């Protein structure tokens, strides 16, 4: 799950990034509204945590712009302003949920999980290839009806490959989905996840396309 965190307060941002990473999210953190707008229009995120008072561009404007341009990722707004008018304004602009500062990480995590569930339940059908079935809503994976346990990273790779079934997904794309922008990636980290997936799902489940990437189906 790739999450964009937009928060200009360095202490809060740092704490949130670490906390959300510990929950298993791939977290990219921006401190500026304009940069956030650019990132959201050019890349895919599963979730957005958006502060309202930001340099560059106000959070509500960012939200308005991305919704206008068809970015549908669930957005949770963080705000110190707990005035009713702000909440109503945010809802009008297409926010999915709110949290008023201060809040604790557990509360944020619970809200994010619920947003992901809601989004997936309404939008995402089961993904299937051969004997393997993936339920994006519950994150359950079965092979010939038997439950398979995958790590968060393995699940991310598998879901990505299945969403582009029959097409080659480049290494770069998979690595970005797994690690975001700024984490140092070990050169064989992706191979390790692919290796483990093949062990669990069958040696020929994922095809290597030399010099390009990987394909399922």
Of the pair 36, 157, the CB lying nearest Ca ion is at: 36
The distance of closest approach from Cβ of residue 54 to Ca ion in the complex, given in angstroms and rounded to an integer, is 6
Alpha-carbon gap, residue 199 to 151, rounded angstroms: 13
Q: How far apart are CA 177 and CA 179, in angstroms?
A: 6
Nearest residue to Ca ion, by Cβ distance, number only: 53
H/E run at residue 25: none
Q: Of the candidates 21, 31, 53, 217, which one interacts with Ca ion according to CB under 5 A?
A: 53
Site string for Ca ion, 6-35 (x = CB under 5 A): --x---------------------------
Q: Are 160 and 174 in contact (CB under 8 A)?
A: yes
Residue from the set 28, 46, 51, 96 that interacts with Ca ion by CB under 5 A: 51
- Separation of alpha carbons 157 and 2, rounded Å: 12
Residue 54 or residue 161: which is nearer to Ca ion going by CB? Answer: 54
Q: Closer to Ca ion at the Cβ: 8 or 163?
A: 8
Write out the residues near Ca ion by the rule CB under 5 A: 8, 51, 53
């Amino acid at each position: 799950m790739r999450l964009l965190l937009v928060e200009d307060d360095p202490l809060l941002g740092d704490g949130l990034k670490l906390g959300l990473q510990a929950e298993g999210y791939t977290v990219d953190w921006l401190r500026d509204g304009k940069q956030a707008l650019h990132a959201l229009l050019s890349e895919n995120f599963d979730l957005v945590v958006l502060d309202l008072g930001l340099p560059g561009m106000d959070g509500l404007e960012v939200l308005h712009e991305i919704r206008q341009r068809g970015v549908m990722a669930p957005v949770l707004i963080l705000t110190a302003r707990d005035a009713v008018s702000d909440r109503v304004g945010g809802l009008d602009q297409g926010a999915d949920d709110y949290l008023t500062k201060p809040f604790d990480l557990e509360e944020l995590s619970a809200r994010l999980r619920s947003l992901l569930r809601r989004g997936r339940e309404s939008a995402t059908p089961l993904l299937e290839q051969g004997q393997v079935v993936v339920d994006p809503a519950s994150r359950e994976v079965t092979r010939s009806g038997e439950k398979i346990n995958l790590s968060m990273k393995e699940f991310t790779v598998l879901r990505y490959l299945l969403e582009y079934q029959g097409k080659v997904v480049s290494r770069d794309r998979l690595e970005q989905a797994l690690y975001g922008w700024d984490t140092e990636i070990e050169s064989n980290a992706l191979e390790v996840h692919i290796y483990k997936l093949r062990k669990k799902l069958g040696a020929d489940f994922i095809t290597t396309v030399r010099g390009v990437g990987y394909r399922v189906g």
